[in-house]
């Protein structure tokens, strides 16, 4: 498996980066190069208008 993955996020999108199944961060618009075993990273591209809804279940509760 290739440890390098390229992700493109459009200006009306954001992407959720999941590392080992856990939320890591939000990727802003642009081209992103991810360096890790691909099976440990997952990217979910979300339309901007659905971002709050998508994040609600992923952020840790305080």
20 Rama class: left (phi>0) / alpha (psi -120 to 50) / beta: left
Q: Which pLDDT score is estimated for 59?
A: 66
- Tokens in use for 34? 């991810």
Check: CB of residue 15 under 8 Å from CB of residue 44.
Answer: yes
Tens-of-pLDDT digits for all 62 residues of the chain?
Answer: 567 889 999 999 999 999 888 889 999 999 999 988 656 888 999 999 988 888 887 766 55
pTM here is 0.80
d(Cα 47, Cα 49) in Å, to the nearest integer?
6
Q: Which pLDDT score is estimated for 39?
A: 66
Q: How many CA atoms lie within 13 A of 60 on its CB side?
A: 5
């Amino acid at each position: 498996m290739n440890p390098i993955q390229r992700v493109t996020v459009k200006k009306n999108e954001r992407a959720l980066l999941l590392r080992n199944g856990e939320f890591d961060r939000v990727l802003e618009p642009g081209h992103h190069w991810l360096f890790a075993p691909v099976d440990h990273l997952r990217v979910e591209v979300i339309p901007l208008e659905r971002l709050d809804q998508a994040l609600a279940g992923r952020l840790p509760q305080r």
